[in-house]
Amino acid sequence: MRTGITINVTATDRERLLAIRANRNSPQKHVWRASIILLTADGCGTAEIMRRAGVAKTAVWRWQERFMLAGVDGLLRDKTRPSRIPPLSPEVAERVVTLTLAVSIRQGPRISWCGSGSLGRLRVHFFARLSTALTRA
C-alpha cells in the first residue's frame, strides 16, 4: 500500500463487502473491488493485493482511493464517461423529428429479418426520401 493511505472499514462496510464477494450473482468487477478493499483492511501490501486479486497496481490504488472518497457505494458504480458520439444540436434534432413525422406510412421505415433460423438480424431500412431530405437540409 502507498504510504500515507489508511482505510478504515467499519463493521457494516465489511459485512457488505463480504456479501458482495460471497454472492455468486455479483459482477466479477465488484468482487475484485471488494477483495481489494478487504485485503487492504487486513493489512496486505499492494504487491500482495495485486497477486491475490489479479489486478494491476494502478487498479489497486484506484479502488482504494474510490473507497476512501465514496465508500462501498463508490465501488458498485462506474464513473460516467462522456459519450463517444457528440449530441445532436437542438436544430438538427427538431429537423429529424419534423422529417420523421412528415413521412407517410407507405414511405416509412421497413423492417425485415435476414439470416437463418432464430439468429436473424433485425435491419431497418429507411427509404431514399428520408435520407436525402436529411442530407439536403
How many domains does the chain fold into?
2
Average pLDDT across the chain, whole number: 78
The residues pairing with 113 across neighbouring beta strands, listed in sequence order, are: 122
pLDDT per residue over 75-91, tens digit each?
998 888 887 888 888 88
One domain, residues 27 and 64: yes
pLDDT band, residue 107 (cuts 50/70/90):
low
Per the domain annotation, does 42 fall within a domain?
yes
Among 7, 56, 8, 59, CA closest to 33: 59
Cβ atoms of residues 20 and 31 within 8 Å: yes
Inform me whether the pLDDT recorded for 124 exceeds 90.
no
pLDDT over 90 for what percent of the chain? Answer: 41
Q: Does residue 130 have a pLDDT over 70? A: no
Q: If you average pLDDT over residues 117-121, what whole number do you get?
A: 45
Q: What is the pLDDT of residues 91-100, one digit of tens each?
A: 888 888 888 7
* Residue 95 lies in domain: 90-136
Q: Within 13 Å and on the Cβ side, how many CA atoms surround 44?
A: 17
On the question of pLDDT at 4 being above 70, the answer is: no
Tens of pLDDT, residues 44-61: 889 999 999 899 999 999
Query: If you search the block for the grid coordinates 423492417, which residue do you land on?
Result: 111
Record the pTM: 0.58
| Spatial separation of the C-alpha atoms in residues 47 and 38, rounded to whole Å | 14
Final residue before a domain boundary, out of 75, 100, 121: 75
